[in-house]
Structure 1
Amino acid sequence: MGERYLMKGNEAIAEAALRAGCRCYFGYPITPQTEIAHYMAKKMPKVGGSFVQAESETAAINMVYGAASTGVRVMTSSSSPGISLKQEGISYISCAELPAVIVNIVRCGPGLGGILPAQGDYFQAVKGGGHGDYKMVVLAPLSVQELYELTVEAFNIADKYRILTMIMGDGILGQMMEMVEFKEEENIVRGDKSWATTGTNMERDKNVVTSIYIEPEVLEQHNLKLQAKYKMIEENEVRVESYNCEDADIIVVAFGTIARIVSNVIKQAEKEGIKVGLIRPITLWPFPKEEFEKYAKVPKAFLTVELNAGQMVEDVRLAVNGRKPVYFYGRMGGMIPKEAEILDKIKEILK
């Protein structure tokens, strides 16, 4: 039995990062994730790390670039508009193949948005919000316990593949308090850091970290190398949870906070003789396409429920590939669907 604490989601992320060996944090305050920076400012000096409140989100992501180049475990966090400002740096870091973790506690939007929960940043996260053909691993927790566990995992994945890994939550997950059980010792998987710019000590050739490839032939080869790495990640790092899908009348697809609500909808539907399954992508990228292959012929239809105008539904439709109808139900602006709304939509589809 490990240590147990009642913690706010944002604080659990920060504590998990420290336990995972994060020793550099660069960020800029923006609700609803500011507690991550507060926690890091208090705790990072105690473990011999560096905390810097940057002058802007743009500065913060470029500090991440510099620290990651030395091989240290580094993290930044922000919320939707701040993540938008980081996009150029995210693309540069991706091209340079540097491991780091980014936390996005999503606001509703577009624009400045409010601090209430939303999932409108799905496209930005999984399709690449910056320029060029790059990918990030995107993890979507649904509880404070998972915020902790997946933050540790994010650092391991980042190191293993030299890739940016994003934790994507929302205002509910960041602000809510739940019991968290921490392990006595974390499973830390550190990748090879022979590429890092730590000084040669006159004993080896110098390392160069760059995201500049001017010659088209060289840039194409670098891109092909990146795509091969992404394919390897798709084969090895998919995480998904399925429930009640074997002979479901309808399968609902949801991630994060909405998946918690759908769990209660399943119980309500069962009382009315409707069997509802749930597929919960935990990695939004790589997307769990094979899970849809497995259950594609089972239900009468699929329904995605999201806190946006319809984003993940496009990936669900690609995965189902026309074998069954795929419907969408969403709320925006920080509005959260009630269980009855989702159940009514299920009944409407099954008429």
Structure 2
Amino acid sequence: MDPSTRPPLYRVKKIKKYYGTGPSLFHPHARILRAVDEVDLAIYPHETVGLVGESGCGKSTLARLMMHLEPVSGGTMEYLGRDITRITDRDLFLFRRQVQMIFQDAWASLNPRQRIGDMIREPLENYRLTGKKLLSARVEELLELVGLEKAHLSRYPHELSGGERQRVTIARALAVEPRILICDEATANLDVSIQAQMVNLLITLQQRLGLSYLFISHDLALVKHLSDRIAVMYLGKIVEMLDSSALVERARHPYTQSLLAAVLPIAGEEPLRSLPVLKGEAFYDAAAAQGCGFCPRCSQAGDLCWKMTPRLWEMEAGHFVACHLIQA
């Protein structure tokens, strides 16, 4: 079913986050860093949106904005059609029952002095979701849901493996019965075999609980496997968005094609030998601030690319690209 035919759960429109940087030895003039720059993104019921890009492209900043962990510099955020860009503490408390986040570093997001059972019990008590007599049973149910055992209740984070700690963070997030989970590099710190288990767990939970995911990763192959739609982010902007099933054959933006060249062949796909391999690293170039941010690394960039920022336009149904070369 086309997601655009349904109202979104969560939508951000032209959302921005700018940071001011003062003068320094190498940059004598104050600058503005556009960490997130006019991003449009929607999450629909029961779907997974993958957000992919290199480190430093603004993926985690966007996630923090969507969780209200940082204030936005501009744009609007809507949950169930309601504007939540500016929100009261009371409404924020209620909003975070609906939208939860899984962080990359499970160790840093767990209290080292708190037992696992107490961590999962705490949100149940804060939101008064379960009566006191049923609290213990509900905590055990949540542990079982993520593949842990009753014996883990009395343990501390340092007594668990990395994969077990991440399962605890998922159980704690699920305690408030959210509709959306924002997973920020949730599998990045895990061994490959544990990553596969975690991905399978997320798929199972989505099917069982009807969750929606925003799955953030630099691993394009993993994002393709897990997602319904994929948004590609570069230096604060969405440069391409399309169905994951069309990624390999239909990706048109030079940056997306370069990412594909770095990871192909994806399982079941034929290698595309003609794709250019990306060189260098993502960096903010003041010279390209008025044009396309990918210009300094794009072998096809023309004069227009340096002078004007390309808009994100729909080149075909459900496929959006921000590139002058495609629009020409």
TM-score, normalization: structure 2? Answer: 0.30
